[in-house]
Amino acid sequence: MSPTSLLEDLFAYPFMVNAFQAGTIVAVAAGAIGWFMVQRRQSFAGHTLAVIGFPGAAAATWLGSNPAVGYFVACIGGALIIAALPHAGHIGGETGGVGEESAVIGTVQAFALAAGFLFVSLYQGFLSGLNNLLFGTITGVTTSQVQMLAVAGIASLTLLAVIARPLLFATIDPAVAASRGIPVRAVSGAFLVLLGVAAAGTSQVTGSLLVFALLVAPAATAVRLTARPDLGIALSVAIALMVTWAGEAIAYFSPYPIGFWVTSIAFAAFLAASAVSALRERRGRRRQRRTKEAVA
């Protein structure tokens, strides 16, 4: 099969065009927002927001409205609640998130999943929909959903572009950032809302349970490959796009769901990057030792 006929084949159906458009928007937003999330060590919060999206979407379906709206309402609402908690900045952060708070969040995750299943069973005849909500689908993305994702994607990337520098400062060094007059709490809250939007959008491509594939894995891969912020963000977006496009294309030609492919490719990229950075570190240490010996 030649590349052109492969592409023709791929986009023969409008649903695949929708899936690629949705995937592209989501990958750019998740790649950029995910980079900050990984630097802030808030992956756990990101996953929680995604899981909260599941009952939102299930409830929306049950009530006969658009599941995409359900994702956004639940995820942004969840983000606002986490932001309002005391020590919100610390959830999953350097200084906290491993103690009581993670127990609370774990409970919230379990409750969200259980509530989601309740809404699914209240809405009878929805069983294939359950898989789609949890593990993603390429056939289910509607044109109105793509439009909604585009609006959310542009809005969240604009907000991120406005707060990026103070956000980076508040992430790396909250005390110094606060002494410079950065409203650390407000910036952290705004970032949680961005994370909610990213989780809601990503859920619509990978399903609620597999958002890690686009929100965490590309960013964690990029961070292993470079410590430069500009390059890291660009790399994270590029990897997320690659993973999404490849995953969607393979899913189209295979009987297995998109969530599986996207997750597997993202995981492979992460493993490769970990190997590269381990090798680099070992080489760096050896070079240091050699310099020391040369000096001695």
Smallest separation (angstroms) from another protein to the CB of 38: 8
Give the nearer residue to another protein in terms of CB position, either 10 or 159: 159
Site residues for another protein per CB under 8 A: 39, 41, 94, 160-166, 168-169, 172-173, 175-177, 179-182, 223-224, 227-232
Give the nearer residue to another protein in terms of CB position, either 58 or 193: 193
Give the nearer residue to another protein in terms of CB position, either 254 or 288: 288
SS3 call for 73: helix
Smallest separation (angstroms) from another protein to the CB of 190: 11
Smallest separation (angstroms) from another protein to the CB of 232: 8
Check if the beta carbon of residue 171 is closer than 8 Å to that of residue 38.
no
Smallest separation (angstroms) from another protein to the CB of 82: 21
Pair of tokens at residue 54: 């599941």
What is the spatial distance between Cα 251 and Cα 259, in angstroms, rounded to a whole number?
9
Smallest separation (angstroms) from another protein to the CB of 191: 14
Smallest separation (angstroms) from another protein to the CB of 48: 20
Give the nearer residue to another protein in terms of CB position, either 36 or 119: 36
What is the spatial distance between Cα 74 and Cα 55, in angstroms, rounded to a whole number?
8
What is the spatial distance between Cα 243 and Cα 236, in angstroms, rounded to a whole number?
11
Check if the beta carbon of residue 192 is closer than 8 Å to that of residue 52.
no
CA distances from 125 to 41, 122, 217 (A): 39, 9, 34
What is the spatial distance between Cα 252 and Cα 138, in angstroms, rounded to a whole number?
8
Pair of tokens at residue 263: 């997750």
What is the spatial distance between Cα 132 and Cα 134, in angstroms, rounded to a whole number?
6
Give the nearer residue to another protein in terms of CB position, either 131 or 179: 179
Give the nearer residue to another protein in terms of CB position, either 199 or 223: 223
Smallest separation (angstroms) from another protein to the CB of 29: 15
Check if the beta carbon of residue 60 is closer than 8 Å to that of residue 120.
no
Residue partners of 124: CB distance under 8 A and separation at least 6:
none
Give the nearer residue to another protein in terms of CB position, either 77 or 185: 185
How many Cα atoms are found within 13 Å in the side-chain-facing hemisphere of 215? 31
What is the spatial distance between Cα 4 and Cα 7, in angstroms, rounded to a whole number?
5
